[in-house]
Amino acid sequence: MSNILTFPSRASSYAPNNPLPTENVVELMMPGDARRLRRLQSEPTTETARNAKLRLQRREAWWKAERKVEYWKACMKMHTAISSVQRAGLPEGDNHQKTENSHWHPIAANYRKAIAELFLTPAHRLTDITWKQKALAAEEHKYTDLSRDRIEAAIAQDIDFLAAHPTRRKREEQSA
């Protein structure tokens, strides 16, 4: 979905081969987008603000990677559901293209690629590190190209980052 809205100046003059004048194009921003954009573009003055900016950048990357995993997981579930109703001969299966086993392989490959990307995406909070540790223990990396050592190294880097870039400092540290 695009954030660009176009408004024709004259309804009769609009046609696919007659593009709209550029003065009729408006870009919309979501309520928090302007603040987030200013925050990302401005240079923070305090160490806490610099840490917050770094974490915000990591959060955005994590969310994108997480959305990919959710998307491909949903695709796998949908493929399974469609295949199941088609095998059972239910009329709901007629709403979809005939599923083949060969359709499953690219979906699973993309899911595995998304999981691998999420393992390597820098974590912005402790709960993300916890997810990585649990997923590693559950061997979710098993069918990816990632080794256990590579994921453990990424987790160690995340832990080091969070220790070096705290969200708050204790009062004793601030006055020292």
62-67 CB contacts, 8 Å cutoff, 24+ apart: 62/118, 62/121, 62/122, 62/123, 62/124, 62/128, 65/114, 65/117, 65/118, 65/121, 66/118
Q: Give the pTM.
A: 0.67
Residue-wise pLDDT tens digits, 65-107: 999 999 999 999 999 999 999 999 999 988 888 888 888 899 9
Location of structure tokens 């595995």: 112
pLDDT top residue among 171 and 74: 74
Query: In degrees, to the nearest 5, what angle opens at C-alpha 20 toward C-alphas 14 and 22?
Result: 165
Cα 133 to Cα 125: distance, rounded to the nearest angstrom: 13
Q: With pLDDT > 90 as the criterion, what percentage of the chain qualifies? A: 49
Question: What was the pLDDT predicted at 4?
Answer: 65
Measured CA to CA, the distance from residue 136 to residue 61 in angstroms comes to 20
Cα four-point dihedral sign 127, 133, 138, 140: positive
Name the token pair of 30: 């979501």
